[in-house]
Structure 1
Amino acid sequence: MPPPTAADPGRAVPRDADHVIETRGLTKAYRGGQLAVDRLDLAVPRGSVFGFLGPNGSGKTTTIRMLMGLIEPTAGSARVLGRPMPGASRQVLPAVGALIEGPALYGFLSGRDNLRRFDAADPTADPRTRDERVDRALERVGLGAAAGKKARAYSLGMKQRLGLAAALLQPRELLVLDEPTNGLDPQGMREIRTLVRELAADGTTVFLSSHLLDEIEQVCTHAAVMARGRLITQGTVAELSATVLDSGGHGRLAVTTPDPADATRVLKEHGVTDIRVAGDRVTGDLPAPPDGHPAEPADLNAALVRAGVRVRAFGAERASLEDVFVHLTGEGFDVAG
């Protein structure tokens, strides 16, 4: 069954015990009637790394705040770990680790003492093993060497890591991360992605909000796309890529050749558009004939060979999440807005 989309609002998300997060018609309106989240039906499978994708301002953080019981919805319902939120917060939240809108830290305390304070606030935490948990969490996010430094001296990326460490003090069924790589350098981003994969392999469901398309594609098994407060589509990352082709997108051709100029000429003659050349790699959009069926790639390959173009590799690229977003919304993905 294809994923539900904004164009098909009548298709309800089935209630399923294997969903760690479910929402039905979840809505948040602010003064003046402005809708931050508009009738959201979301289903997050247990054991997934679920990417919650959308430009800044699309309603992602507002949704997370409702899921965690930090704000009340205007309408609709949310269930987390099978229980209604915010009503069951006391039962649900001990099994959830969260990093939302950046960590709130005590600047005058060291990183280690911040984590001790967070751990002490958890009624389920055994104080006898507190130092062991704190040290393990610090090492896991790469802050072991900076554990004694005052938090006010931490960089933005280090503060993000410390907030993530706080979410990892206890084993969690669900980890909710709102823009977890904000402020991190490329190496730090890679480390966080590796950590997310490790957590998922250990059985933790990870719900990861981001406006970075590349981040979602690299680490997530499932994703939902938000725009202007509304859910556009959701499903596995592979299914979302397939929606571009299934809905009339025609895919992107990729040719590796030592003759990029000749390949470009031949592809243009056969209707390939938006051709781009990067070294020995030529890419372009496959043409769609009047009957609506995309051109046969094998015919293009044969045309290249007949023209004497040396073809080292030839194939269709998988649609990216950026392709999905543009195809479904007709808009670019504004990562700055």
Structure 2
Amino acid sequence: MRPAPAPSAPPPSLPAGPDDVIRTRGLTKRFRGGQLAVDGLDLTVPRGSVFGFLGPNGSGKTTTIRMLMGLIAPTSGTASVLGASMPQSVATVLPRVGALIEGPALYGFLTGRDNLDRFDAADPTADPRTRRQRVEAALERVGLSAAAGKKARAYSLGMKQRLGLASALLRPRELLVLDEPTNGLDPQGMREIRTLVREVAAEGTTVFLSSHLLDEIEQVCSHAAVMSRGRLVVQGTVAELAARAQGRLVVRTPDTAKAAEVLAAHRVAGPAVEDGRVSGELGALGEEVLPGLCAALVAAGVRVHGFGLERGTLEDAFVALTGEGFDVAG
């Protein structure tokens, strides 16, 4: 796909700060027919982060990535990647970026190895004398060395996804952009890709990872942004986002009914009983009330087998922020 031409009246340049690899302001994309896919996006991706771009399918993630990579022009707003405005600077920016967007585009009649040869040859900055070493290293890295001689059309969906990732890893890049990189992979393959993302990040590459899988973001990302219906809901570190969800007090006891009474009497919101556990929201009470609650339970004769605060997860935060459920398992 050819990069989209720049708009006739390009927006002003938007230089990123020294620690921003991606920065957008008011980035908007409206397709023909009036469909608003991305609505006024203000996004900041710190250098050196593993940044999770999180949202349900159809929330605008891929459209945003295509604008960042210069594949389509925004309707309005500005975007910079590696300090240069996009899509105006695709020729200077893209050689510094590895990307896998909307699944790999492969030549089915070529082997996996020959596909990577073609991709490497298309890079004007790649030294042809060391091409074979780069190709073999990329194949090894994604676990495709044994299948490198097979035609790509015979690859499974997961193998094609691995080959596409190998093409993005042919050379060290400042930024690696991955759009749903674990699509089509079995659980073992997903774990391997997560490990690979961590390794790439440890080498100094900023990773921008789009996903609709909450556990994927929690396991590998340092920062995240949540998209919903084309709009940015929130962004920050993964720990900060998870902390937005209130923790729940959980008491394990055989005396569940009595424990629920005591908690309710001490203004713990909505004590719920399930499988030998009583849980409730502290709300505005704060964590400082925990010692007193535990003492009150014991004083009331409740046999306390376990007592503690379960921290909120990214899923809890997403539901609290958007009021929507989320596709956790895929």
1:251 counterpart letter in structure 2: G
How many positions carry a matched residue from both structures? 311
> Following the alignment from structure 1 to structure 2, what is the Cα–Cα distance between the partners of residues 217 and 67?
24
Aligned partner (choices 295, 298, 317) of residue 305 of structure 1: 298
- 2:194 match: 193
Label 1:76 to 1:294 Cα distance change in 2 as closer, same or farther (>3 A): same
1:262 counterpart letter in structure 2: D
Aligned partner (choices 311, 315, 320) of residue 313 of structure 2: 320
> Following the alignment from structure 1 to structure 2, what is the Cα–Cα distance between the partners of residues 107 and 139?
20
Label 1:276 to 1:167 Cα distance change in 2 as closer, same or farther (>3 A): farther
Of residues 62-71 and 299-308 in structure 1, the stretch that sits farther from structure 2 once superposed is 299-308
1:293 matched to 2:285? The reply is yes
- 2:52 match: 51
Could you say what secondary structure the match of 2:162 adopts?
helix
2:248 counterpart letter in structure 1: R
> Following the alignment from structure 1 to structure 2, what is the Cα–Cα distance between the partners of residues 213 and 62?
20
- 1:9 match: none
Label 1:128 to 1:41 Cα distance change in 2 as closer, same or farther (>3 A): same
The correspondence of residues 52-131 of structure 1 with structure 2, limited to 5 A, is 52-131=53-132
Could you say what secondary structure the match of 2:28 adopts?
strand
- 2:150 match: 149
Label 1:322 to 1:111 Cα distance change in 2 as closer, same or farther (>3 A): same
> Following the alignment from structure 1 to structure 2, what is the Cα–Cα distance between the partners of residues 14 and 165?
30
> Following the alignment from structure 1 to structure 2, what is the Cα–Cα distance between the partners of residues 139 and 208?
22
> Following the alignment from structure 2 to structure 1, what is the Cα–Cα distance between the partners of residues 280 and 312?
11
Label 1:274 to 1:57 Cα distance change in 2 as closer, same or farther (>3 A): farther
> Following the alignment from structure 1 to structure 2, what is the Cα–Cα distance between the partners of residues 206 and 52?
10
- 2:248 match: 252
Label 1:300 to 1:122 Cα distance change in 2 as closer, same or farther (>3 A): same
The answer on whether the counterparts of 2:117 and 2:135 sit within 8 Å (CA) in structure 1 is yes
- Report the alpha carbon displacement of residue 15 of structure 1 after superposing the two structures with TM: 5.1
For residues 229-285 of structure 1, give each alpha carbon's deviation from its aligned partner in whole angstroms, at most 9, with x where no partner exists. 0000100111112233xxxxx422244x5x4x324651454135364756x7x4633
> Following the alignment from structure 1 to structure 2, what is the Cα–Cα distance between the partners of residues 50 and 215?
11
Label 1:283 to 1:64 Cα distance change in 2 as closer, same or farther (>3 A): farther
Could you say what secondary structure the match of 1:116 adopts?
helix
> Following the alignment from structure 2 to structure 1, what is the Cα–Cα distance between the partners of residues 184 and 278?
33
1:293 counterpart letter in structure 2: L
2:281 counterpart letter in structure 1: L
The answer on whether the counterparts of 1:55 and 1:335 sit within 8 Å (CA) in structure 2 is no
> Following the alignment from structure 2 to structure 1, what is the Cα–Cα distance between the partners of residues 16 and 163?
35
1:311 counterpart letter in structure 2: H
- Report the alpha carbon displacement of residue 309 of structure 1 after superposing the two structures with TM: 2.0
Could you say what secondary structure the match of 2:146 adopts?
helix
Could you say what secondary structure the match of 2:78 adopts?
strand
2:326 counterpart letter in structure 1: F
- Report the alpha carbon displacement of residue 308 of structure 1 after superposing the two structures with TM: 4.4
Q: TM-score, normalised by structure 2?
A: 0.88
2:109 counterpart letter in structure 1: F
- 2:239 match: 238
The answer on whether the counterparts of 2:259 and 2:278 sit within 8 Å (CA) in structure 1 is no
Q: Identity over aligned residues, as a percent?
A: 71
Label 1:103 to 1:263 Cα distance change in 2 as closer, same or farther (>3 A): same
> Following the alignment from structure 1 to structure 2, what is the Cα–Cα distance between the partners of residues 317 and 14?
42
- Report the alpha carbon displacement of residue 105 of structure 1 after superposing the two structures with TM: 0.7
The answer on whether the counterparts of 1:286 and 1:294 sit within 8 Å (CA) in structure 2 is no
The answer on whether the counterparts of 1:326 and 1:333 sit within 8 Å (CA) in structure 2 is yes
> Following the alignment from structure 2 to structure 1, what is the Cα–Cα distance between the partners of residues 79 and 149?
40
Of residues 20-29 and 293-302 in structure 1, the stretch that sits farther from structure 2 once superposed is 293-302
2:93 counterpart letter in structure 1: V
> Following the alignment from structure 1 to structure 2, what is the Cα–Cα distance between the partners of residues 14 and 294?
42
2:23 counterpart letter in structure 1: E
Label 1:336 to 1:183 Cα distance change in 2 as closer, same or farther (>3 A): same
The answer on whether the counterparts of 1:267 and 1:300 sit within 8 Å (CA) in structure 2 is no
> Following the alignment from structure 2 to structure 1, what is the Cα–Cα distance between the partners of residues 98 and 139?
15
Of residues 268-277 and 140-149 in structure 1, the stretch that sits farther from structure 2 once superposed is 268-277
- 2:140 match: 139
